Each structure stands twice: as C-alpha cells, then as structure tokens.
Chains A and B, each alone.
Chain A
C-alpha cells in the first residue's frame, strides 16, 4: 500500500507567524494547512494521512493545551509541537505529560522546527502503521468464537494442550481442534507469531 502525502497543520492566531511557518515548512516540500484558531481546526475536514500539529499555546478561544486535551479525549492521536512565547516550566511540564511531542519557544529557529516536524511525522507514520496492523489483527481475532478465545488466552499464556483441557473441562482432542481453528482464523504462521499478534493487540488497546 502506497504511503499517502504527509501534512503539517499550523495553528496560530498571528497571521504573520502563520504565514512564515507555512512558508518555512513548504520550502522543504511538505504539505501545510493553516488555521487561525483551535476551533477552525476541529471544524475542518482532515485527510487521513500522517500528520503533525504545530500549535501556539496562547491563543484567543481554546488554548493550545485545551486543544491537546480535546484531541486526546476524541481519540485523535496526532503528534503536537507546541510553540510558546513565554515557556514557563509548569506549562511545558503539563504539555509534555499529556504527550506533547516537542515544546519550542518563540522565536523558533527554523531548523529546530523543521527537525521537530520531521521527527513528529516519522513518529506518526510508525504509529499509524502500528494502529493499522492492530486493527487488522483485531478484525481477525474478532472472528473467533468465545470458546476459541478462551483457548487462545491459555495458549498465549504458555499452557500445554493437556493443561488447557483440564482447565476448560474438555478433551485434549477438542482443544487441538479449537487451536487449529485459532491458528487458521488469525493467519498465525507459528505459535510465536500468534503470541506477538496478541501482544500488539494488547498494546494497542492499552494506548
């Protein structure tokens, strides 16, 4: 599957800064979209591509930190690069704790911003890939029957067929049948592969 064109969203209430950052980021061949407020950004239709946010902390209306929380609550995991005129420590700590990708102070050096943008895009690309894989795996795992899921959990936990049979109160032969179905439905190539997929799924749902 071909990688889609990444995009950088710039949100700043100051038009001159917005234009400057847009021009700067475009100059390295990246696609940029600008917004004057957090509200505009939330209302806009966003393409499903690797992306990152360059976000001014201090804005009229919802602040950059507000937007960060809103995106997190809405389950929109996009890396955020904060830009602030007065980077006080409590604020940056709060932003970083909430998962900000980078925290830069105004005036930002062009190269610093471009580096941060590239890193954020790379990170988003990886995350998107992981999410895509996880959702594929989830689709396959969801096709399992409840009984097969029970067997799967015990297999992944490292139990032998005999032990699983004892625990679930079925014959060893039945366990073997269920197990074969699990391997087939999840397209697992080996036991190790099955364990890895199950781990990925757990990690994704934890996030």
Chain B
C-alpha cells in the first residue's frame, strides 16, 4: 500500500531532478552560444536556471542546479577553460558567483516553502469548511424533519382532542336525552294505561262510568305531568332572557372579521366587510350575537373549502332597514344549498359535515329569536349561500 503511493511521488522526484539538469544544460548551451557575441553572460542564465529549478523542483533539485552550474562555470568559463581548476585571480569573481547562486537558491526555496505551507493550510481549511458545511446541512435537514414530525404530532393531537371533546359532548347529550326520554315516557305510559282502562270500563256490557271517569282523570293528570316535565326542561335550556345592552353591530362584525381572519387566510378566503355607514345599534347580548355571526362566518368559510373554480369570497354586510330593523348578511361563494339541505338546515343535530354536531344553526336561530329577530338562509343566484338575520334596532325596542 505504501509502495503504491510512493511510486508516483518517486517518478515526480526524478522528474524534478531531471528538470534541474535540463535547465542547467540549457543555460550552459545558451551561454556558450552567446559567449562570443556578448562576452560572459553565464551568471545571468545560470541564475535563471537555479531560480526555476528551485521554484518548480523544490530544495533538492535547487541545490543540484547550484552544484551543476558551479561545475559548468568552472569547466567552461573560468580559465583555464576545459578543466575544473580556478586561477587565483578569478577566485573572487567565482566565489561571488557561487554565493549569488546559493543565496538565490536559499531565497527561492524559502519562498517556495512558505507558498506550499500556505496552500496546504488553505486546502485543509477548504476541506474542513466543506466538511462542516455538509455536517451543518445534515443537522439542518434533521431539524426540519423533526419540526415536520412535531407539527404532524401536534395536528394529530389536536384532531384527537377535538374528536374526544365531540364524543364527550355527544355522550353527555345522549345521557341527557335518555334521562329526558324516561322522564317524559313515564307519564305517557300512565296516560296510555289510564286511557285504555277508561275505554275498557266504557266498553263493558254495563259501562262503569265512575271507574271510567276516574281513569280519564288520571290520564289527564299524566298528560299534565308530561307537559310539566317538558316545561322544566325548556326552562333549563333557555335559562333567562338574554342580557340586553346597547350593541354596536358594526363593531361586533369588525371583531368577528378579525377573529376569523386566520381561518380565512388558511383556507384562501377573502373576507369583505361592508358596514352600514350609520353605525346601527341593537339591544342584545353582545357575546351571543358574536357567537351567532361567528358561527355563520365559519360555516361560510367551511362551505368554500372545496371550491376551486372561482374566487373564495365571504361578504359580511350590515344594513339598516327602514330604521326598525338591522339586517346582517353573511354571503359565501361556496357549494350552496340543495333544497333538501335548506329544508333541514336549522334542525338540531342536522349536519352535512363529518365533524360537527349539527347544533350551531339551531342554537343560532333560537338566540336570534330570543332577541326578537329572524335568521334564515337562501341560495345565491351565482352559487353559494346567503345567511341573513334581522334584529330590531334600538329605536324600535324603545318604542
């Protein structure tokens, strides 16, 4: 393994030394060729050879070129020419030459070293940066994935929670219904038994009027008891009349538009608010009215989630009607209402959604009616549905 890595580097080393010899030889040939026309320019070409050898071949070849140059100069240029001897008179000149060569080689070698170290440092740095970048990218991806998972979990959790709450509500309603059913059924059973008894006493060969009358009276009592039970339940549900205060309907609608904004944006729905300029006032329970209008707005947004071929616009409008009534209109461009749906819309427990109890509109209508108003629905000509409610204005209530 070590050898395989060594092989190319050895070839490269040999090439570097060869380069030094070639360069020195070239310098020698040029110097020899130019010797007669320009005097003795050898120091210049040999210096260039040493510089190039040291720069490209590194330290070893550099020193080789210095030695070769010195030998070449000794042999070819210093008298006596053709031998390696140097005459004493040429010695200072020769020593200066060799010193220059050595100095140049030293300097270039040092520069080269610095340059190499710098390059290596830079390369290492680049590699490290690349590694860090990859690591960061991985970490980032992991983080994104984690966030995705968390969001998924949260959504599931929320859905489960909503489902649970709905189940609890339905269970509570189921229990309530069972208990109401029993409470009502009991007196009804008494009514039926006594009415049957009454008929039976009358159907005898000799009708027993006293018994029949007693049975009929008990039947009446049973019926009264049944209606008492119903009245009690009704008073339980409707509680007291709504808390009446002066309510600026425009402000309520602005609040609702703000409340519903998030839901609308998520579903790509634009809410258009058209408020009556005379800021009408109704007497009513602002929380209840808010609930009703918000319910209508949310229904409208829901109705548009499957619409893709036209803009999803929810219009929320208030207007005064002949100073006696105020009308609030919630209009959507959704799927609209079929005749069947329209007929049953306000029935309790009627819903077109899989999640939903079907109580919203039924409760909304009873709230508006408790305010002395009306709530109804129409299909738009252009698709979608319009829910309208009227509320008596303050003047009318005062009158």
Interface residues of A (CB under 8 A from B): 14, 16-17, 19-21, 23-24, 26-28, 58, 83, 85-86, 106-111, 113-114
Contact = CB atoms under 8 A, between A and B. Distances in A.
A17 B189 contact: yes
Contacts of A83: 189
Given A24-B197, A110-B196, A110-B200, A14 B215 contact: no
Contacts of B194: 16, 19-20, 23-24
B187 A27 contact: no
A8 to B, nearest CB: 13
Contact of A107 (B191, B198, B211, B215): B191
Given A21-B193, A27-B197, 17 more contacts: A14-B189, A16-B194, A17-B186, A17-B190, A17-B193, A19-B194, A19-B218, A20-B194, A20-B218, A24-B197, A24-B215, A26-B211, A85-B181, A106-B186, A106-B188, A107-B189, A108-B189
A27 B200 CA distance: 6
Nearest to A15: B190
B185 interface: yes
Nearest to B188: A107
B221 to A, nearest CB: 6
A43 B190 CA distance: 26
Contacts of A110: 192-193, 195-197, 199-200
B225 interface: yes
A4 to B, nearest CB: 24
Given A16-B194, A85-B182, A24 B189 contact: no
B214 A23 contact: yes
Main secondary structure of the interface of B (DSSP, over half): helix
B190 A16 contact: yes
A109 B204 contact: no
A165 B214 CA distance: 74
Contact of A24 (B196, B222, B225): B196
A20 B388 CA distance: 51
Nearest to A29: B204
Q: Which 8 A-B pairs have the closest CB atoms?
A: A110-B196, A20-B193, A107-B192, A16-B190, A27-B200, A24-B197, A23-B197, A20-B194
Contacts of A27: 197, 200-201, 204, 208, 211
Contacts of B208: 27
A113 B211 CA distance: 19
B178 interface: yes
Contacts of A26: 211
Contact of A23 (B178, B181, B211, B225): B211
A31 B285 CA distance: 61
17 contacts: A16-B190, A19-B194, A20-B190, A20-B215, A20-B219, A23-B193, A23-B194, A27-B204, A27-B211, A83-B189, A85-B181, A107-B193, A108-B192, A109-B192, A110-B192, A110-B196, A114-B200
B186 A85 contact: yes
Nearest to B208: A27
A2 B192 CA distance: 36
Given A107-B193, A110-B192, A16 B182 contact: no
B196 to A, nearest CB: 3
Nearest to B185: A85
A106 to B, nearest CB: 4
A113 B195 CA distance: 13
Contact of B225 (A16, A58, A85, A109): A16
Contact of B215 (A23, A86, A111, A114): A23
A74 B221 CA distance: 39
A19 to B, nearest CB: 6
B204 to A, nearest CB: 7
A108 B200 CA distance: 14
B101 to A, nearest CB: 115
A108 B201 contact: no
A85 B192 CA distance: 13
Nearest to A17: B190
Nearest to A58: B182
Nearest to A25: B197
A129 to B, nearest CB: 29
